[in-house]
């Protein structure tokens, strides 16, 4: 590639070199600086042995350095393996090894913990000279012989644990193997229009980069030559301050973030001018109808959008502003190029109004997880992927999600997998068995709760178990409540009946997810 693709940082470095691409606190990265720094880092990474087709783990909190390094990888044709910065070193190292990544780039405050892991190439940010790995700051000093160009869309490997508790990678779409290019193009155009972005938009980014949504927001803003304003850690009042200060137009936020704004005192809410906002998009967790109504009243009728998707199938459906109040509780209609079916256990399609499992056919449904066999007909059939979610379609084709077959917990838009927690708990010598469920939590939507069967004559406490989980599980995965029971409810085959455990906590709730 000798000319930049339209919408890439390389393109805007020529067209708008002095325009702000990223703002983080008092730091401003222009498009010209972004491209120049990415060229230098790419040159340095190439000298370390990274080549097209390789993968590199990316473990970052929001910061300008993530933008530079991920762009350098796109210039090199290297896929990014998204690694949650909240994971322990052992958990993160597993993902790097499982994905066969050539190493890891991170902006950990203290990177010394990586010294005991053989990760390959380790790139650090903000570390003292002489520490572990290669410093990002030193890569910036690499002289550039030939400018590089990369595609706009990043090659991104996302990790999801499914129901087994063992993290599995969802590989990036191989566009050379796309059978229906027209469908893919229509799908991409549909995604790009939801929510609608103005030219050169100012976008607030509060989502992490280890999900598909965070990089997606950054890419959408870049494609239009816009400015991305970063906020991490999230603070509701600070978000309002940044919207007011930078005249933010587009913001994608999980419901928890919006709920925290709704709960601010009126005198704080009234302090900030939000009239610049043209679109707020939310999803990744159930959105209370009361929150939707409040946002419509506060921001206007044409602002709120909602989206539903899955790592294994991409984005599935969206709800436009005009349906937020007229179709209460809906998750919207499918994007162009997407088909949604409601099926029973035998893959029979159910008619409108009947509840069953949601199966979807999108242009990006995976055929198998990274490094593993292709998925069988219990998961994929005739191009349709079983999402594990339960719902129905109404007569107008609008999707409603009411429950979840899989045990996954969604807390503040973050997926938590009970099997992984259970596996860690039963390693405790005083625990015979454990079952973890999600229970309602007003701020985060759900939180994990553990039912513990203790060994005879043992009396583990909540404090004992939490101390045991330190270093084994990231803090956000640890149960917030424990209940000690004599036995767990099981069916004839010995499978734990989690519906029975969940029932008392979700009783009187409209949605059970």
Q: What is the pTM of this model?
A: 0.85
Q: Tokens 């949650």 belong to which residue?
A: 84
In 3D space, the residue among 470, 463, 505 whose CA is nearest the CA of residue 484 turns out to be 463
Residues 305-357 have pLDDT tens digits of: 999 999 999 999 999 999 999 999 899 999 999 999 999 999 999 999 999 99
Band the pLDDT of 416: cuts 50, 70, 90.
confident
What's the DSSP call for residue 115? G
Return the exposure string of 388-414: e unless at least 16 CB atoms fall within 10 Å of the residue's CB, then b.
Answer: bbbbbbeeeebbbbbebebbbbbbbbb
Q: Is the pLDDT of residue 509 over 80?
A: no
In 3D space, the residue among 477, 473, 500 whose CA is nearest the CA of residue 409 turns out to be 477
The domain segmentation of the chain, as residue ranges, is 9-152, 409-506
pLDDT of the residue at 493 = 47
- Residue 197 CA neighbour count, 13 Å, CB half: 26
Inter-CA distances, 70 with 57, 116, 232, 280, 370, Å: 10, 25, 18, 25, 20
Classify domain 9-152 by CATH number: 3.40.50.980
SS3 label, residue 422:
helix
Could you say which of 3.90.1170.50, 3.20.20.190, 3.40.50.300, 3.30.300.30 is the CATH number of the domain covering 409-506? 3.30.300.30
pLDDT of the residue at 302 = 95
Q: Is the pLDDT of residue 188 over 50?
A: yes
Band the pLDDT of 161: cuts 50, 70, 90.
low
When pLDDT is averaged across residues 286-297 and rounded to a whole number, the result is: 88
The average confidence (pLDDT) of the chain is 92
**One-character DSSP codes across 376-418:** -TTTEETTEEEEEEEEEE-TTS-EEEEEESS--EEETTEEE-H
Higher-confidence residue of 263 and 78: namely 78
Q: Is the pLDDT of residue 494 over 70?
A: no
């Amino acid at each position: 590639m000798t000319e930049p693709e339209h919408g890439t940082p390389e393109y805007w470095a020529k067209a708008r070199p002095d325009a702000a691409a990223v703002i983080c606190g008092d730091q401003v990265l222009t498009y010209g600086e972004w491209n120049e720094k990415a060229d230098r880092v790419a040159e340095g990474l190439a000298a370390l042995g990274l080549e097209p087709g390789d993968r590199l783990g990316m473990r970052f909190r929001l910061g300008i350095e993530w933008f530079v390094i991920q762009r350098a990888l796109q210039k090199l044709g290297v896929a990014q393996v998204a690694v949650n910065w909240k994971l322990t070193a052992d958990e993160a190292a597993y993902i790097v090894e499982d994905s066969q990544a050539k190493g890891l780039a991170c902006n950990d405050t203290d990177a010394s913990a990586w010294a005991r892991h053989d990760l390959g190439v380790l790139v650090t940010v903000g570390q003292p000279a002489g520490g572990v790995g290669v410093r990002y700051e030193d890569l910036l000093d690499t002289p550039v012989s030939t400018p590089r160009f990369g595609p706009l869309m990043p090659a991104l490997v996302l990790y999801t644990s499914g129901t087994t508790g063992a993290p599995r990678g969802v590989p990036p779409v191989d566009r050379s193997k796309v059978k229906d290019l027209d469908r893919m193009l229509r799908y991409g155009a549909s995604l790009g229009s939801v929510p609608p972005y103005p030219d050169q938009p100012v976008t607030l980014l509060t989502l992490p980069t280890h999900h598909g949504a965070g990089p997606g927001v950054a890419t959408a803003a870049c494609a239009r030559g816009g400015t991305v304003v970063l906020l991490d850690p999230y603070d509701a009042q600070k978000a309002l301050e940044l919207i007011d200060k930078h005249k933010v137009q587009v913001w994608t936020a999980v419901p928890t973030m919006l709920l925290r704004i709704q709960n601010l005192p009126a005198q704080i809410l009234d302090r900030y001018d939000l009239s610049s906002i043209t679109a707020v998009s939310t999803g990744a967790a159930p959105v209370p109808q009361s929150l939707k109504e409040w946002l419509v009243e506060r921001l206007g009728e044409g602002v709120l959008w909602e989206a539903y998707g899955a790592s294994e199938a991409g984005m599935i459906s969206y709800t436009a502003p005009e349906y937020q109040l007229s179709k209460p509780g809906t998750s919207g209609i499918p994007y162009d190029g997407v088909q949604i079916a409601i099926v029973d256990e035998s893959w029979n399609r159910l008619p409108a109004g009947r509840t069953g499992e949601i199966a979807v056919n999108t242009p990006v449904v995976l055929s198998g997880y990274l490094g593993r066999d292709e998925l069988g007909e219990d998961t994929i059939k005739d191009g349709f992927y079983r999402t594990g979610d339960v719902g129905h379609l109404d007569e107008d084709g609008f999707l409603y999600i009411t429950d979840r077959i899989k045990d996954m917990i969604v807390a503040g838009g973050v997926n938590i997998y009970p099997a992984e927690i259970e596996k860690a708990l039963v390693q405790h010598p005083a625990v015979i068995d454990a079952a973890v469920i999600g229970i309602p939590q007003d701020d985060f939507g759900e939180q994990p709760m553990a039912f513990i069967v203790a060994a005879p004559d043992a009396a583990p406490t909540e404090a004992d178990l939490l101390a045991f989980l330190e270093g084994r599980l990231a803090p956000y995965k640890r149960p917030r409540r424990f209940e000690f029971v004599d036995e767990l409810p099981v069916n004839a085959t010995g499978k734990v009946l989690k519906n029975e455990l969940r029932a008392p906590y979700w009783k009187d709730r409209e949605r059970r997810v």
